[in-house]
Amino acid sequence: MNEKREARGIDAILSEARGRLDRVSPETARERHAAGALLVDIRYELLRRRDGLIPGALVVERNELEWRLDPLCPYRLPQAEHHDVEVLVLCNEGYASSLAAVGLHELGLHRATDVIGGFQAWAAAGLPVHAQCRQRTVEPGGAGPSRPPNEENS
């Protein structure tokens, strides 16, 4: 069933993704995070080391996001306990996070969205950032391997 699809550019894909989301400003993300929403930082390590971390945000590399937040997955984080959890995804500038949030919608996480402008907008708004190089790793819930499958370990 390899149905050939018309090629689309990333701008069209991104626009469609954002049309599915109720995106939030950094200030709104901070308020919702304080009220219990999961703020998930998907930036890669070099950016986190360079720019710092948001206090209380979960750090989940983009390539592990779906495995860590899928309530049905044995590799999920303890915070991903049900499909109604509010997830606010944050990348560096707010592009990859839009695509990631739509991926979470595909898993049934209907309250997932992203932060407009990403970490850079968060920092520019003067919201809290810890400039530290060491980061706490969140261990996955449940038994089994500590890392989800990928090309290297599948």
Identify the CATH number of the domain defined by range 23-124: 3.40.250.10
Which pLDDT score is estimated for 148?
52
pTM metric for this prediction: 0.83
Could you tell me if 21 and 102 are in contact, meaning their C-beta atoms sit under 8 angstroms apart? yes
Does the structure show a pLDDT above 80 at 7? Answer: yes
Any idea which of 30-39, 73-82, 84-93, 138-147 has the lowest mean pLDDT?
A: 138-147
Q: Percent of the chain scored above 90 by pLDDT?
A: 80
Cβ-proximal residues to 59 (8 Å cutoff; 6+ apart), any chain: 40, 41, 48, 53, 135, 137, 138
Domain boundaries, the chain: 23-124
pLDDT in tens, 57-114: 999 999 999 999 999 999 999 999 999 999 999 999 999 999 999 999 999 999 999 9
34: Cβ contacts below 8 Å, ≥ 6 apart: none
